Amino acid sequence: MKNVLLAVTGGIAAYKAIDLTSKLTQAEYDVRVMLTDNAQEFVTPLAFQAISRNPVYTNTFLEENPNEIQHVALGDWADVIIVAPATANTIAKLSVGIADDVVTSTLLATTTPKFIAPAMNVHMYENNRTQRNIEVLKEDGYHFIEPGDGFLACGYVAKGRMEEPLQILQRINSYFSEEAKEASYEQSTFNGKKALITAGPTIEELDPVRYLSNRSSGKIGYALAETLQSRGAEVTLVSGPTALQPPKDVKVIQVESAHEMFEAVQSQFEQSDIVFKAAAVSDYTPAEMLPHKLKKQEGELSVTFKRTQDILKYLGEHKTHQYLVGFAAETRDIEQYALDKLKRKNTDVIIANNVGDRTIGFSSDNNDYTMYFKDETVVPLGRESKVNLAKKIIDELENRWG
């Protein structure tokens, strides 16, 4: 059971806090309530005590337990604190660290996660000073539950209504759900491991203005990097040219050509524990890079190409402890080519997809992958967003790798 400390301040929306207490209690949270003096002008401690079946706190100096300091102990007890409703006055006091009642004293004396549900007149809410106070608190780590639009006590129909209790409950449920998920990731197979990922296309220059490349967007490689980082892996992403923002807390090595990508991967391979070769690397490069722009001429043009280094084959031949995941982007005979690649390249897994389907694949946010494992297990992942597919891939490997 999670502990919720509800702080009620002096606004007409305080009546909603009674309903919120009821909903939290019914959701099996252990709820304790604090009321400011102004809040008691609208609601009574007895109402909250009857619903929560816990003491209600109204006085900073009423220390009933000599073994603890009440406003410190309350903050330590709570898993989360909700201020609902939060008046402009309380928000202002919190933003500058004033602690002159049981609510502000407790909030100042705790590191517990805090949620603020503002409720006030629309002009008070939109006032520059209030908005600056809110930004200060956000920077300090407070979570804000935005007020809604509707009929206000002042008679306006505008933004300023405290969010409905059911929506606040759902927000708190989501918070604890995400917290539980993050805690489970601390037990991840990938926690503390070194992951190497390649992503995006390569470009092979013909002359100073032309090059050979492909349609790869890099989205699946970037999604894999972000997913692995969230599960505690130390991630290095070797990326060809893309329009994507580098994932947070991921080491990114930017390259252009297949040769540059090979050198970057080679330098990182030995210390890696798991490698995802998701980049679409050019198989051929012009035999000669012309120093000047190739001018138009009569008749046909022939260009001689040479093979680039087969990065996945190299990794399969040189792996020792590394777990190697390859990708196969095909337009026909998907399974046949995937199984052949799995064997020839000595990978542990091949993830195949049909890039002949223009509704998925290179330029799309979605794809449809099938995983082929060395032990002959086949796992279809289905058609989903690349972000979700990255999570599915890592989930499968959580159960198999290590």
Residues belonging to the active site: 154
Burial of 321 (0-12, 13-18, 19+ CB in 10 A): exposed
Which residue shows structure tokens 């990708």? 327
**Residue 283, marked binder:** yes
Compute the distance between CA of residue 87 and CA of residue 118 in angstroms, rounded to an integer: 6
Kind plus residue range of the DSSP H or E element containing 329: strand 323-330
Burial 194-217 (b: 16+ CB within 10 A, else e): bbbbbbbbbbbbbeeeebbbbebb
Return the closest-CA partner of residue 268 out of 200, 202, 318, 342.
318
Compute the distance between CA of residue 174 and CA of residue 193 in angstroms, rounded to an integer: 28
Decide if 52 contacts 23 (C-beta within 8 A): no
Compute the distance between CA of residue 351 and CA of residue 339 in angstroms, rounded to an integer: 10
**Residue 327, marked binder:** yes
Return the closest-CA partner of residue 230 out of 398, 98, 382.
398
**Residue 341, marked binder:** yes
The CA–CA distances, whole Å, from 234 to 184, 222, 226, 365 equal 17, 14, 11, 25
Return the closest-CA partner of residue 289 out of 204, 363, 375.
204
Classified as helix, coil or strand, 130 is helix
Decide if 183 contacts 224 (C-beta within 8 A): no
Peptide bond just before 208 cis, omega within 30 deg: no
Compute the distance between CA of residue 298 and CA of residue 283 in angstroms, rounded to an integer: 29
How many Cα neighbours within 13 Å face the side chain of 220? 31
Residues making up the binding site for CTP? 283, 293, 327, 341, 345
Which residue positions form the known binding site? 283, 293, 327, 341, 345
